[in-house]
Structures are given as structure tokens and as C-alpha cells.
Structure 1
């Protein structure tokens, strides 16, 4: 259970304002260790030809919609993918860390006798499936299988869907299915040989979240300031500014939460945090860019020292805006793929790609 708590606490920092919910992470993690014994495996322990599948959830994590996703939905999604593939799946990985997404694969892995792979499609949480698709977003040669399961049967929104095709087209279909099911849905996708994972994933993504989570747990008795200091020291992260939330302007659209959060800080005056499910960039009021995806960008409560998701941000709250520069993070092929950026840039109306690829200083 300590591993579950550490994964949720560390994952909450890498969640970057999204990545699910703490309660959901603790619930799914508890179910995983109750139903079996999840086994975390390094990529070196896994044969090159073993099949690895990404287990995740798709939707808008701000909690503004009437969604339902149960533990059995995660399991059913993996089962349907394995049946469609016609081969035994060896292990499960998550496309990202997060408040609950660090634990995405633990329950189906424990239930179906698979390993949890210590690798992530992206070390931090991100809005689109393409950003966690291990560099396959624009591939026309790879036919993927993607499965979603979830929704409320009593309202008629429960969906089971299996699709085959290119990652780009099938990802868009899954986003629509998530919206139709209530805004958040369990998913299994992208069966790939372990050799590909070893070459394209953010290696060690789960153990990094666990390490950070244990450091946070050790610091918690010393108060919120000690926790924030520990987060910074453990990750090589920095506090960009501390202050009061002036305005939250975030709306739900097509299974995304999109908008901005404005924070009045002592260090930089007003900071504008750009949100598409997660924090994607931070600008000063004058237009200076301070941090951009794939940097980790997180809001932390000054009162508790705990990360605060976009959904729980309220005007008047005192927060610290925290960032980890991408040079301190293991980066996957996903975030190095220029084709995953235009969709998010269009939704937010800002430039990401030039900053992400260091074309702007």
C-alpha cells in the first residue's frame, strides 16, 4: 500500500494539473494489491519480442462531467485487446504519470498475470493520445488496436469499442467515444514488441514517480514548505512564482478542458497558465514564456504542499507554480515528434513547438 501512496503522490507532481484524480488512483491501486500482486519490471528484464500494451484512461480530468469508470473496465479493455490481437500480452505500461494514471496498468496486470513495465509514453501527463503514443502518432505503416470501455449503463452511456487503423485516426475516434461515455473512459492500446518500448519510451518513468512519492511522504511531517522544498530538490525543479489565483477560465469541450488560469505572483507579476487538460505553458503578462511542454508544470498548494489539479483550482487560492526543465527528464519519442503539437497549439492559440524544440531562447 505504501507503493500505491507513493505512486499517487509522486505521480501527482508529474500530473501537471491533470492525470486523473488522487481518490481514483488510491482506489484502483488498492484494488490491484487486493486482487493480486502487481510486479514492476525494468525493460531489461523483458524479452525483446514480448508484447507490451499501453493501459490508460482518456478524457478530461477536471471532473466537470458525469463519468463512471470502474476497475473492471480497465481489465475488460486489456482482455478485449488481447482477444483481438490473438496473442498473449506480456506487460502493461502507462502513457503518462498522473494522480491516478501512474497506476493505470497495475490492476489489469495483477488480474491477468502480466507485469507493469517501468516505462512511460511521457514522463508527465499530456492532453492527447498522440503525445503518449511512442512516436507512432503520424505512422501510416503501423496498424494499431485501440479499445475503450466505460460509462454508466443506467444512463445508456456505457461503451465497449474496439478499433483498428492508424494511431492518428483511431485516437480521434477514442476521444469521441470518451466524450459520448461521459468524458472519461478506460483504454488499452498499441500492442508493441518490448524492443520498440526500450528504444522509444521514457524509461524508468514509474520508478521516478515512486522515488519522488517516498521523498514527499518522508517530508510531510515537517510541513508544506518542507514538502515543496523536497519536491524541488528531488526533481531539479524550480518554483516560477508563488501567489494568489486571480482568474480561472477553463471550459469543457470535446473531452478536453481548455482555457487559462491567471496567478498574481511576487516574482513575475501575473502569470498565465495555459490549460488543455494539463498545463502546457506559462507566460508572463508581458508575453515572456517561462516554461513549455514537455517541461513538467504543476500547481502546488502553499497550505498543504500537495499538487492541485486544474479541476480543484479556485480563485483566491494561494499556490506555487512549479516547473521541471525537460533536460532533467527522460523524454520519449512521442514528445520529440513535431506532428503531435499543431492540434494542441490550435486549441490553445499559442506556440508550443518552437519552445519545445528550443528554437526560441
Structure 2
């Protein structure tokens, strides 16, 4: 276990912004949430094997399209959503996990840990960011007899007031409902959902995902003084990625925000990158080069950071396109969920299932921190009572 510090918060945002694959929330929101959480208290991060076997885990995240113009999420919304889930779930929730890495989503759960005393699990529903709840749902949509319980809280107060909704049912159906709620309340809303046994998480999660983001951010920060090429090399090395192309970013199809998704296409050199909130594929004249759940990254060389879809503007940025193949990083059951991939096929009109590596298995790989960092402690940190 380790206590998370303000330095960890900064690294989480920097590394998470690469694993965001163009989506994954907003840099300024991640900086706010990470700074606030580590100022209030020291959130505690634990590996899946460091918690009691009878621990119940909930996923905490936000739902919507990062380019939505009227979104509003307040820090209290994340706390409120989890508090409401605890009331209605009927199980003792002792840990939380994020659905994915991202600029703000890597720090999902930190404010809940600081305020409510729950542990942040070093596991994600997906090592990279993705557009739908199914792709971060740990395969629970296909678990016989499982009833998904999902709470959303927040919304744009000026336009809609505060919105709270408790939803029960099949995970895939509830996910569709919450996507609609996010649209109706301004574009984004905080969520706490899917309480499940630790054993299920152990068998289906992408383990070490938060440590990966922290170490990646630290490596990027250390490389900054040596220039953008050093940052790109730090990303390539840490993610076991390959440089696919480089040059000026061009706009293929401009971003449209429809139904809770940002949709469009970028081009870099000889390659096109279609996105649905996140970069979902890489193609060239010869066909498909990379495909979700590969981690697809565009680095803006002027900032040395991951380029978000919402920040691309008219294009023209000097960028580098990298791909880390699925399986070289932690794999979850939801990142290879066939129902989730089929939904993306339907929305985007391009294939994913045909490109899925049949050898990928959930929890087949995990990431262990490269070094002990500030805030690391042996044993279990003392937690205050609530």
C-alpha cells in the first residue's frame, strides 16, 4: 500500500493524459481533483492482493463527452454518488477503482478515499480510456444473475439543477440510460456503480494500471528538460510502444458531439485515426494498423503531453503517433468485451471484432511499479474512522 501525494497527483494527470488516448476527461479537472484529494488527506492506493478477500469494490467514474460545451462536475458530486451507492447497494464497499486511465479519470476515487476513507484499488476497468461503460464494466454485463446498481449525481446546476438518479438492471441497459442522462444534464455527470466482490475484480481487472500512469508521468516529467523527443522516447519505452508516424495533425472529419460521444477523424502523415471520444483505430492505405484495445497515443511535441480530442482545434500541431499493442499492458475482461466492441462497430461503422487478438485474456498481465516513490509505505497505513 502507499499513500498518494501531491506529486503523485501531478504524475497521474501527466501519465493519465497519455493513456487517455485523446479522451479520459480534462487536464484541468484532473489537476483540481488530484490536488484537492491530496490536500484534504492522503488517499491510499492498494494492490488487488493487499486487501481482505471479503472486500467489496465499486467503480467510480464520470460519464459523457469531454468536448460537451455545458458540462459541470463538482468534487462533491463524486463523493455524493458513492455515498448514495453505499446506501442502496446492500454490501459493505471498502474499495473503489476507476473505469479507465485518463487526464482526470486516473484520479477517480482519490477524493472518495480522502473524504470517506475507502481504499483506491491499483486496478482499472481498462488500462486506457474508452468511450462506453461496457468497455470498463469488468464483463459484468455478461455475468449471469448480476444486477448492476449505478448512481449518478451532479449536472450543470444553472441549466438543470442538481440531478440524482439510482438505476438497477442489466449493466448494458443501465449504461445506455446513464449515457442519456449525461446528455440531458449538460454533457457529463459523476457516477458510482457496480459493487462487486474482490475475487471478480482479481479475475477481470487491468491490474497495476494506476501505478503505470504514475510511473509514466514521472518518467515524462523527468524527460521534459531534454526536449520533446526525450518525452516521446520516455512514453515509447515505458509503454513498450512503437512510433507509427509523425508530422502535422490534420483534421479529417471535424468533431461532432452527438449522443454523449465526440466523433471524428484525425490524420498524421500517411495514417488516419478515427475517434469516438478516444482514439479507436489507426489506418493507412494498406488497411488497419492498430485497433482498440491497443493503446493509441498522439503526443503534442510543443507541450510534451498527450493531445486530447477536444484540444485539437483546427489541427496543425506537430505530433507523434504511437501505438502500444494490447497485451503488452494490463488487460481487462471489459476491454475485450464483444458486446462493447460490437456497440462501437455500430456507432462508428468500422470493424473491431475482426481485428481482436483471440489470445488476449483478462488479468493475464499486470504492471508493477518500477521504483518505490515518495509516499510509499510498507504495511497498511492507518485510516481514520468515519
Is TM > 0.5 for Structure 1 vs Structure 2? yes
Deviation at 1:329, TM superposition (A): 1.0
Conserved 8 A contact 2:248-2:316: yes
1:122 matched to 2:126? The reply is yes
Partner of 1:250: 255
Conserved 8 A contact 1:52-1:92: yes
CA distance in 2, matches of 1:118, 1:289: 32
Structure 2 residues without counterparts, runs of 5 or longer:
1-5, 360-386
CA distance in 1, matches of 2:246, 2:283: 14
Structure 1 residues without counterparts, runs of 5 or longer:
none
2:205 to 184, 201, 215: 201
Conserved 8 A contact 1:139-1:167: no
TM-score, structure 2 normalization: 0.89
Partner of 1:293: 292
1:190 matched to 2:189? The reply is no
Conserved 8 A contact 1:250-1:275: no
CA distance in 2, matches of 1:215, 1:236: 14
1:356 matched to 2:356? The reply is yes
Partner of 1:277: 277
Conserved 8 A contact 2:134-2:337: no
Deviation at 1:170, TM superposition (A): 0.7
Conserved 8 A contact 2:293-2:336: no
Helix, strand or coil at the partner of 1:344: helix
Helix, strand or coil at the partner of 2:71: coil
2:135 to 106, 110, 131: 131
1:15 to 20, 42, 47: 20
1:102 to 97, 101, 106: 106
Partner of 2:238: 234
CA distance in 1, matches of 2:292, 2:95: 28
Cα deviation, 1:72-130, whole Å, max 9, x if unaligned, reads 00000000000011333101100100011000110011110100000000000000000
Partner of 1:27: 32
Conserved 8 A contact 1:157-1:180: no
Q: How does 1:134-149 map to 2 (within 5 A)?
A: 134-149=138-153
Deviation at 1:65, TM superposition (A): 1.9
CA distance in 1, matches of 2:87, 2:73: 21
Deviation at 1:184, TM superposition (A): 0.8
Partner of 2:347: 347
1:171 matched to 2:170? The reply is no
Deviation at 1:157, TM superposition (A): 4.7
1:47 to 23, 48, 52: 52
Deviation at 1:154, TM superposition (A): 2.2
CA distance in 2, matches of 1:23, 1:146: 26
Cα deviation, 1:124-146, whole Å, max 9, x if unaligned, reads 00000000000112345100110
Deviation at 1:238, TM superposition (A): 1.3
Partner of 1:5: 10
Deviation at 1:185, TM superposition (A): 0.8
Classify 1:46/1:308 alpha carbon distance in 2 versus 1 (closer, same or farther; 3 Å). Answer: same
Give the total of aligned pairs.
352
Cα deviation, 1:9-34, whole Å, max 9, x if unaligned, reads 11111100000011100100111112
In angstroms, what is the RMSD of aligned CA positions? 1.3
1:305 matched to 2:322? The reply is no
Deviation at 1:202, TM superposition (A): 0.4
Deviation at 1:217, TM superposition (A): 1.2
Partner of 1:219: 223
Conserved 8 A contact 2:68-2:186: no
Partner of 1:81: 85
Conserved 8 A contact 1:258-1:347: no
